[in-house]
Amino acid sequence: MKAFGYILLLLLVTSCGTIVNYDYEKSTDFTQYKSYNYFDDMKTGLSQLDTKRLLKAIDAQLNTMGFTRSDNPNFYIDIQSQDIQNRNSPNVGVGVGGSGRNVGGGISVGLPLGGNQSTREIVIEFVDDTKGGMFWQAVSESTYRPNASPEKREEKFKALVEKIFTAYPPKK
């Protein structure tokens, strides 16, 4: 019974992780891109403070990858996000059943876990206007706490950005 509890806890912890999906233009030579900037009119869908936190995390990550932020960049970054409330509310089904001669019956109870969860989808796109537009995209989905402290928000964005950029440049 103790092992079942540990397995259930492990499933709960791992199911709340960040999901990231990627897409890219196959013909792109990713080695030609060394400098970037953000679109001036970017509407991130985040608060002004969270936008600053996210841009700071992206700048730090791209800097460690050898990119420089420039007024005359090779590509631009666009960011969009949206909040999704109560998505995929997890629950556990507990069932009891019995049967007799040509007679069957059963009871099933769903136990909701975790209550309401806030989920945020963030889309990061790399755009080269000189070569036809977007050439790389990452779409992340993760839970967040709207009432988290500024320090926790900064940590969350840093971890999210690190996970997003693990697949850049894509392995062809």
CATH of the domain at 27: 3.30.160.670
Distance of alpha carbon 4 from alpha carbon 56, whole angstroms? 42
Structural domain that includes position 39: 15-85+115-167
Which helix H or strand E contains 22, and what residues bound it? strand 19-24
Count of structural domains within the chain: 1
Residues 82-92, mean pLDDT to the nearest whole number: 63
| In a domain? residue 93 | no
Q: Does a structural domain hold residue 162?
A: yes
pLDDT at residue 91 in the model: 54
Whether 126 is in a domain gets the answer yes
Residue 50 lies in a domain: yes
Spatial distance between the Cα atoms of 24 and 61, rounded to a whole number of angstroms:
19
User: By mean pLDDT, which of 78-82, 117-121, 131-135 is the weakest?
Assistant: 117-121
Whole-angstrom distance, CA of residue 104 vs CA of residue 166: 52
Answer whether residue 32 is part of any domain: yes
**Confidence grade of residue 49 (pLDDT, cut at 50, 70, 90):** very high
On whether the CB atoms of residues 51 and 44 are closer than 8 A, the answer is yes
Helix, strand or coil for residue 47? coil
**Residue pointed to by tokens 């999901």:** 19
Report angle CA 137, 140, 145 to the nearest 5 degrees.
150
The DSSP code for 99 is E
Coil/strand/helix, residue 85: strand
Contact predicate 160/19, CB 8 Å: no
149 within domain boundaries: yes
Query: How much of the chain exceeds pLDDT 90, in percent?
Result: 60
In this prediction the pTM is 0.74
Whether the Cβ atoms of residue 58 and residue 95 lie closer than 8 Å to each other: no
Domain assignment present for residue 73? The answer is yes
Nearest to 87 by CA among 116, 62, 112, 111: 116
The answer as to whether 102 is a domain residue is no
Checking if the pLDDT of 76 tops 50, the result is yes
